[in-house]
Amino acid sequence: MNDDGGVLDRYASLVDDEAAFRAACDRPLPSVVRVNTLAADADRVARAFDEEGTDYERAGWHDGIFRMAERSPGTTWPYAHGWVHGQEEVSCLPALALDPEPGTRVWDTCAAPGSKTTQLAALMDDAGTLVGNDTSLGRLSALRHNAERLGVTNLVVDQQDARNYSLNGFGFEEFDATLVDAPCSCEGTIRKNPDAFDTWTLDHVHEVAGVQKGILRRAVQATRPGGTVVYSTCTFAPEENEAVLDHVLHEEDCEIVEWDCPLESVSGVTEWHDEEYDPSVARATRIYPHHNDTGGFFLAKLRVGGDGGAADDPEPEVAT
Ligand SMILES: C[S@@+](CC[C@H](N)C(=O)[O-])C[C@H]1O[C@@H](n2cnc3c(N)ncnc32)[C@H](O)[C@@H]1O
């Protein structure tokens, strides 16, 4: 049994089935790969797995996501060819929610090691400008390696603190779409990191929430009116999720929009301990490990400028 040091007790009142939640947190995470559509389509990958006798099951909710039975995906031919990337199911959601158009300008604020960046590049058909930013040089090397392995060419790699991000030198002043896959206390990764709770403290939760608020505010400021920002974490703590959204809704011109999550999920919480949040945080998505046999995840989709209506949005200028 994973030692959660009592942290999961905090969420007993939020989950529908506490026993199932705890049991799922104790099971190892299934191995999953995402098809890299810049290099192959899902049927070609399926044929290659069949030919080499690798067992898999296709995720019912998405054609290009394969649950692997046993082998480590890194030892398969599709992996060697750059046709697949090891990426857990919930981690595929933010890029799908952002849904960037080819030819647009997209900022991945906290990009390394690049699972979501490379997925964004594939959704953009490798066309437009994709900026993959992170503060960690070591993790940025992994991002470069992943981008090269998967054949991504529309990526600019940058190392800045996203809270004070400067677009000087880009030749444009706003992005069309921005992803904030924020640093967090990682509670939802307990299934793959059994040590995830060893260093957990409430002080750290509050400290990282401050960073998250700064990054999400800058993301909204750097995205054009009518553009989209997606905020995601792999943690359960409302302090790092709904409280961050509540803060940014009050400080910046943006609103949370509905997003139809393809996995079983529940709404964001509007109250936590002594706090009450803006009612629209209920439009955010919470995913608990026992719902879909995944890690824990949180996601919200925001529209910048508060008009909330894609029909009124100015057309994005196509980057050259
Ligand atoms: C959850 S991880 C990102 C995972 C990545 N999006 C992926 O899918 O592979 C959060 C990242 O935020 C970075 N980070 C932490 N503080 C930051 C800041 N102030 N500005 C930019 N990046 C930051 C960390 O180095 C870490 O790589």
Same domain, 160 and 241: yes
Cα gap 286→297, rounded to integer Å = 6
Task: Name the DSSP letter for residue 112.
Answer: T
Same domain, 189 and 304: yes
Cα gap 301→256, rounded to integer Å = 6
Choice from 134, 215, 217 to test ligand 1 binding pocket (greatest atom count within 8 A of CB): 134
- Residue 62 domain-assigned (yes or no): yes
Average pLDDT, the chain: 94
- Residue 13 domain-assigned (yes or no): yes
- Look up the pTM and report it: 0.95
Give the torsion sign (CA, 108, 290, 268, 301): positive
Same domain, 65 and 101: no
Kindly state if the Cβ of 163 falls inside 6 Å of ligand 1. Answer: yes
- Residue 1 domain-assigned (yes or no): no
H helix intervals, 153-310: 202-221, 242-251, 289-292
Choice from 119, 135, 208 to test ligand 1 binding pocket (greatest atom count within 8 A of CB): 135
Cα gap 298→283, rounded to integer Å = 11
Cα gap 55→301, rounded to integer Å = 35
Task: Please check whether residue 138 is in contact with residue 169, taking contact to mean a CB–CB distance below 8 angstroms.
Answer: no
In this prediction, residue 57 has a pLDDT band, given cuts at 50, 70 and 90, of: very high
Kindly state if the Cβ of 86 falls inside 6 Å of ligand 1. Answer: no
Joined tokens for residue 167? 């677009």
- Residue 308 is predicted with a pLDDT of 39
Kindly state if the Cβ of 214 falls inside 6 Å of ligand 1. Answer: no
**What mean pLDDT comes out for the span 309-316?**
44
Tokens 């503060």 found at: 135
234 is catalytic: yes
Same domain, 46 and 119: no
Cβ neighbours of 229 (radius 10 Å): 27
Kindly state if the Cβ of 113 falls inside 6 Å of ligand 1. Answer: yes
Residue 233 CA to ligand 1 center (angstroms) comes to 10
Task: Please check whether residue 102 is in contact with residue 125, taking contact to mean a CB–CB distance below 8 angstroms.
Answer: yes
| Domain extent at residue 220 | 7-29+89-312
Same domain, 223 and 291: yes
Residue 18 CA to ligand 1 center (angstroms) comes to 30
**What mean pLDDT comes out for the span 237-256?**
98
Same domain, 55 and 156: no
pLDDT in tens, 271-304: 999 999 999 999 999 999 999 999 999 999 999 9
Same domain, 25 and 44: no
Same domain, 252 and 302: yes
Cα gap 92→96, rounded to integer Å = 7
Same domain, 57 and 200: no
- Residue 60 domain-assigned (yes or no): yes
* Residues of each annotated binding site for S-adenosyl-L-methionine: 110-116, 134, 161, 181
- Residue 2 domain-assigned (yes or no): no
In terms of Cβ atoms closer than 10 Å to its own Cβ (0-12, 13-18, 19+), residue 191 is buried
Same domain, 77 and 95: no
In this prediction, residue 217 has a pLDDT band, given cuts at 50, 70 and 90, of: very high
* Pick from 58-72, 82-96, 205-219, 243-257: least confident: 58-72
Same domain, 219 and 271: yes
Which of 25, 234, 254, 261 is the catalytic position? 234
- Residue 318 domain-assigned (yes or no): no
Closest CA to 185 of 24, 10, 1, 31: 10
| Integer angstrom CA distances of residue 162 from 3, 166, 225 | 33, 8, 19
Cα gap 83→26, rounded to integer Å = 31
Estimate the share of the chain in helix, then strand, then coil, as percent rounded to the nearest 5.
Answer: 35, 20, 45
Choice from 98, 107, 109, 110 to test ligand 1 binding pocket (greatest atom count within 8 A of CB): 110
Nearest atom in ligand 1 to 179's CA? 6
The total number of structural domains in the chain stands at 2
Kindly state if the Cβ of 134 falls inside 6 Å of ligand 1. Answer: yes
In this prediction, residue 309 has a pLDDT band, given cuts at 50, 70 and 90, of: very low
Same domain, 96 and 220: yes
